[in-house]
Amino acid sequence: MDLTVHFIDSFTEAAFKGNPAAVIITNTWLPDSLMQSIAVEHNLSETAFVKRIDEQHYQIRWFSPITEIDFCGHATLAAAFVIFKQHKALKQISFFAKAVGDIVVNAQENGYMQMCFPNNKPKTVKKVPEALQQGLSIAPSKVLVNGQAYFVVYEDEAQVKAVITNNNILAKLSPLDVVVTAKSQQYDFISRYFWPANGGDEDPVTGSIHSGLAPFWAEQLHKTSLVAYQASKRGGTLLCEVTDKQIYVSGKAIQYLEGTISLTL
Protein backbone atom coordinates (compact mmCIF):
# COMPACT_ATOMS: atom_id res chain seq x y z
CA MET A 1 0.00 0.00 0.00
CA ASP A 2 1.31 3.43 -0.97
CA LEU A 3 -0.03 6.59 0.70
CA THR A 4 0.78 10.15 -0.31
CA VAL A 5 1.70 12.32 2.67
CA HIS A 6 2.08 16.11 2.79
CA PHE A 7 4.04 17.91 5.51
CA ILE A 8 2.68 21.42 5.95
CA ASP A 9 3.75 24.28 8.24
CA SER A 10 0.56 26.01 9.44
CA PHE A 11 -0.03 29.57 10.67
CA THR A 12 3.09 30.83 8.93
CA GLU A 13 4.36 31.84 5.50
CA ALA A 14 7.94 30.75 6.22
CA ALA A 15 9.29 27.21 6.36
CA PHE A 16 10.35 25.91 9.79
CA LYS A 17 7.94 28.25 11.55
CA GLY A 18 4.34 27.77 12.69
CA ASN A 19 3.11 24.27 13.49
CA PRO A 20 3.97 21.31 11.26
CA ALA A 21 1.28 18.77 10.44
CA ALA A 22 1.12 15.74 8.19
CA VAL A 23 -1.88 15.26 5.89
CA ILE A 24 -3.00 11.99 4.29
CA ILE A 25 -6.07 12.00 2.02
CA THR A 26 -7.80 8.68 1.30
CA ASN A 27 -11.06 7.39 -0.17
CA THR A 28 -11.64 4.97 2.72
CA TRP A 29 -10.58 5.07 6.35
CA LEU A 30 -7.46 3.21 7.34
CA PRO A 31 -7.66 1.01 10.45
CA ASP A 32 -7.44 3.09 13.65
CA SER A 33 -4.35 1.20 14.81
CA LEU A 34 -2.58 1.97 11.53
CA MET A 35 -3.46 5.67 11.69
CA GLN A 36 -2.10 5.80 15.23
CA SER A 37 1.09 4.00 14.18
CA ILE A 38 1.64 6.44 11.31
CA ALA A 39 1.15 9.38 13.71
CA VAL A 40 3.71 7.86 16.09
CA GLU A 41 6.15 7.42 13.21
CA HIS A 42 5.72 11.05 12.10
CA ASN A 43 6.11 12.29 15.69
CA LEU A 44 4.41 15.59 14.83
CA SER A 45 1.83 17.17 17.08
CA GLU A 46 -0.84 15.94 14.62
CA THR A 47 -1.31 13.84 11.55
CA ALA A 48 -4.61 14.60 9.81
CA PHE A 49 -6.36 11.76 8.01
CA VAL A 50 -8.90 13.03 5.51
CA LYS A 51 -11.56 10.93 3.79
CA ARG A 52 -12.92 12.41 0.56
CA ILE A 53 -16.71 12.51 0.14
CA ASP A 54 -16.71 14.75 -2.93
CA GLU A 55 -14.65 17.67 -4.22
CA GLN A 56 -15.89 20.08 -1.54
CA HIS A 57 -16.79 17.78 1.36
CA TYR A 58 -14.50 15.68 3.53
CA GLN A 59 -14.35 13.87 6.83
CA ILE A 60 -11.32 14.47 9.06
CA ARG A 61 -9.65 12.79 12.03
CA TRP A 62 -6.56 13.92 13.92
CA PHE A 63 -3.97 11.76 15.67
CA SER A 64 -1.15 12.92 17.94
CA PRO A 65 1.73 10.54 18.74
CA ILE A 66 -0.22 9.59 21.87
CA THR A 67 -3.91 9.44 20.96
CA GLU A 68 -6.70 10.52 18.63
CA ILE A 69 -7.62 14.18 19.19
CA ASP A 70 -11.17 15.57 19.20
CA PHE A 71 -10.36 18.94 17.62
CA CYS A 72 -7.27 20.32 15.88
CA GLY A 73 -7.08 23.63 14.05
CA HIS A 74 -3.58 23.69 12.58
CA ALA A 75 -3.88 20.25 10.96
CA THR A 76 -7.28 21.29 9.54
CA LEU A 77 -5.60 24.36 8.05
CA ALA A 78 -2.88 22.08 6.64
CA ALA A 79 -5.46 19.75 5.08
CA ALA A 80 -7.31 22.70 3.55
CA PHE A 81 -4.04 24.02 2.13
CA VAL A 82 -3.39 20.69 0.37
CA ILE A 83 -6.91 20.49 -1.07
CA PHE A 84 -6.98 24.11 -2.24
CA LYS A 85 -3.59 23.58 -3.87
CA GLN A 86 -4.86 20.48 -5.70
CA HIS A 87 -8.17 22.09 -6.72
CA LYS A 88 -7.32 25.71 -7.48
CA ALA A 89 -10.86 26.64 -8.55
CA LEU A 90 -12.28 25.81 -5.13
CA LYS A 91 -12.96 28.69 -2.74
CA GLN A 92 -14.72 26.77 0.05
CA ILE A 93 -14.51 23.27 1.51
CA SER A 94 -15.93 21.64 4.62
CA PHE A 95 -14.61 18.99 6.97
CA PHE A 96 -16.84 16.90 9.21
CA ALA A 97 -15.38 15.85 12.56
CA LYS A 98 -17.35 13.73 14.99
CA ALA A 99 -16.68 15.86 18.07
CA VAL A 100 -17.20 19.33 16.54
CA GLY A 101 -19.41 18.85 13.47
CA ASP A 102 -18.74 20.70 10.23
CA ILE A 103 -15.70 22.96 9.91
CA VAL A 104 -16.03 25.26 6.90
CA VAL A 105 -12.81 26.67 5.41
CA ASN A 106 -12.77 29.57 2.95
CA ALA A 107 -9.84 30.48 0.71
CA GLN A 108 -9.28 34.23 0.75
CA GLU A 109 -7.69 36.49 -1.85
CA ASN A 110 -4.85 37.52 0.47
CA GLY A 111 -3.55 33.96 0.84
CA TYR A 112 -5.22 33.39 4.19
CA MET A 113 -7.57 30.49 4.84
CA GLN A 114 -10.43 31.16 7.22
CA MET A 115 -11.79 28.35 9.41
CA CYS A 116 -15.16 28.53 11.16
CA PHE A 117 -15.09 27.06 14.68
CA PRO A 118 -17.73 26.86 17.40
CA ASN A 119 -17.52 29.51 20.13
CA ASN A 120 -15.92 27.68 23.08
CA LYS A 121 -15.64 30.60 25.48
CA PRO A 122 -14.22 29.42 28.82
CA LYS A 123 -15.79 29.95 32.23
CA THR A 124 -14.12 30.89 35.51
CA VAL A 125 -13.26 27.83 37.59
CA LYS A 126 -14.71 27.53 41.08
CA LYS A 127 -11.59 25.88 42.46
CA VAL A 128 -8.13 25.89 40.87
CA PRO A 129 -6.78 22.32 40.72
CA GLU A 130 -3.72 21.68 42.86
CA ALA A 131 -1.89 20.11 39.92
CA LEU A 132 -2.34 23.33 37.92
CA GLN A 133 -0.87 25.44 40.71
CA GLN A 134 2.04 23.06 41.27
CA GLY A 135 2.76 22.57 37.57
CA LEU A 136 3.44 26.26 36.78
CA SER A 137 6.41 28.31 37.97
CA ILE A 138 4.30 31.52 37.97
CA ALA A 139 0.99 31.69 39.82
CA PRO A 140 -1.99 32.72 37.64
CA SER A 141 -4.00 35.86 38.21
CA LYS A 142 -7.14 34.13 36.86
CA VAL A 143 -8.07 30.59 35.79
CA LEU A 144 -10.88 29.59 33.44
CA VAL A 145 -11.83 26.32 31.76
CA ASN A 146 -13.68 24.91 28.78
CA GLY A 147 -13.95 21.38 27.40
CA GLN A 148 -10.42 21.47 26.02
CA ALA A 149 -8.15 23.15 28.55
CA TYR A 150 -7.55 25.26 31.63
CA PHE A 151 -6.95 28.90 30.70
CA VAL A 152 -4.28 30.52 32.87
CA VAL A 153 -4.36 34.32 32.58
CA TYR A 154 -1.25 36.32 33.47
CA GLU A 155 -0.80 40.02 34.14
CA ASP A 156 1.65 40.58 31.27
CA GLU A 157 3.15 38.82 28.27
CA ALA A 158 6.59 38.54 29.87
CA GLN A 159 5.12 36.03 32.31
CA VAL A 160 3.68 33.97 29.44
CA LYS A 161 7.13 33.80 27.84
CA ALA A 162 8.94 33.11 31.12
CA VAL A 163 6.70 30.49 32.72
CA ILE A 164 8.27 27.05 33.22
CA THR A 165 6.03 24.01 33.43
CA ASN A 166 6.32 20.68 35.16
CA ASN A 167 4.59 18.59 32.56
CA ASN A 168 4.59 15.45 34.67
CA ILE A 169 2.35 17.29 37.09
CA LEU A 170 0.22 18.99 34.40
CA ALA A 171 -0.43 15.57 32.86
CA LYS A 172 -2.51 14.79 35.96
CA LEU A 173 -5.11 17.28 34.64
CA SER A 174 -5.97 14.82 31.85
CA PRO A 175 -8.06 14.92 29.72
CA LEU A 176 -7.69 18.72 29.88
CA ASP A 177 -4.63 20.63 28.65
CA VAL A 178 -3.26 24.02 29.76
CA VAL A 179 -3.01 27.33 27.90
CA VAL A 180 -1.32 30.40 29.40
CA THR A 181 -2.20 33.80 28.00
CA ALA A 182 -1.89 37.55 28.48
CA LYS A 183 -2.63 40.83 26.74
CA SER A 184 0.13 41.83 24.31
CA GLN A 185 1.62 45.12 23.15
CA GLN A 186 2.48 44.04 19.59
CA TYR A 187 -0.57 41.77 19.19
CA ASP A 188 -3.93 41.75 20.92
CA PHE A 189 -2.98 38.72 23.01
CA ILE A 190 -0.38 35.97 23.14
CA SER A 191 -0.46 32.43 24.45
CA ARG A 192 1.45 29.19 24.95
CA TYR A 193 -0.14 25.73 25.00
CA PHE A 194 0.93 22.66 26.99
CA TRP A 195 -0.61 19.23 26.47
CA PRO A 196 1.45 16.47 28.10
CA ALA A 197 -1.61 14.23 28.53
CA ASN A 198 -2.63 14.31 24.87
CA GLY A 199 0.22 15.13 22.54
CA GLY A 200 3.50 16.40 23.97
CA ASP A 201 5.10 19.05 26.13
CA GLU A 202 4.37 22.29 24.23
CA ASP A 203 2.43 22.70 21.00
CA PRO A 204 3.94 25.24 18.57
CA VAL A 205 0.66 26.83 17.36
CA THR A 206 -2.80 25.63 18.41
CA GLY A 207 -5.70 26.69 16.21
CA SER A 208 -8.42 24.97 18.23
CA ILE A 209 -7.65 26.70 21.53
CA HIS A 210 -8.34 30.06 19.89
CA SER A 211 -12.02 29.11 19.79
CA GLY A 212 -11.78 29.76 23.53
CA LEU A 213 -9.03 32.40 23.68
CA ALA A 214 -10.60 34.70 21.08
CA PRO A 215 -14.01 35.11 22.78
CA PHE A 216 -12.33 35.61 26.17
CA TRP A 217 -10.06 38.37 24.87
CA ALA A 218 -12.82 39.89 22.73
CA GLU A 219 -14.74 40.50 25.95
CA GLN A 220 -11.70 41.81 27.81
CA LEU A 221 -10.55 44.13 25.02
CA HIS A 222 -14.04 45.15 23.79
CA LYS A 223 -13.32 44.24 20.17
CA THR A 224 -14.32 41.41 17.87
CA SER A 225 -11.36 41.39 15.45
CA LEU A 226 -8.13 40.27 17.08
CA VAL A 227 -4.58 39.37 16.12
CA ALA A 228 -3.11 36.56 18.20
CA TYR A 229 0.42 35.20 18.53
CA GLN A 230 1.40 31.84 19.99
CA ALA A 231 4.79 32.42 21.59
CA SER A 232 6.43 29.02 21.15
CA LYS A 233 9.95 28.61 19.76
CA ARG A 234 8.52 28.30 16.24
CA GLY A 235 5.75 30.88 16.76
CA GLY A 236 2.64 31.57 14.71
CA THR A 237 0.14 34.33 13.96
CA LEU A 238 -3.64 33.87 13.89
CA LEU A 239 -6.36 36.32 12.87
CA CYS A 240 -9.57 35.90 14.86
CA GLU A 241 -13.12 37.16 14.33
CA VAL A 242 -15.62 36.63 17.15
CA THR A 243 -19.40 36.23 16.91
CA ASP A 244 -21.87 34.90 19.44
CA LYS A 245 -21.85 31.35 18.08
CA GLN A 246 -18.78 31.10 15.84
CA ILE A 247 -15.11 31.96 15.93
CA TYR A 248 -13.36 32.55 12.61
CA VAL A 249 -9.65 31.74 12.75
CA SER A 250 -7.48 32.60 9.74
CA GLY A 251 -3.92 31.71 8.88
CA LYS A 252 -1.49 30.94 6.10
CA ALA A 253 0.46 27.76 5.42
CA ILE A 254 3.41 26.52 3.38
CA GLN A 255 4.33 23.07 2.08
CA TYR A 256 7.56 21.52 3.35
CA LEU A 257 7.41 18.04 1.83
CA GLU A 258 5.37 15.67 -0.31
CA GLY A 259 6.26 12.00 -0.17
CA THR A 260 5.06 8.42 -0.29
CA ILE A 261 4.51 6.09 2.63
CA SER A 262 5.07 2.49 1.50
CA LEU A 263 3.48 -0.18 3.67
CA THR A 264 3.36 -3.95 3.46
CA LEU A 265 0.21 -5.14 5.25
End-to-end CA distance of the chain: 7
- Contact indicator for 212, 193 with CB cutoff of 8 Å: no
- Contact indicator for 176, 149 with CB cutoff of 8 Å: yes
- Contact indicator for 171, 197 with CB cutoff of 8 Å: yes
Distances (CA, A) of 166 to 41, 75, 197, 242: 26, 26, 12, 33
The pairing of strands 57-63 and 92-97 is parallel
> What residues are labeled active site?
46
In whole angstroms, what is the distance from residue 233 CA to residue 240 CA? Answer: 21
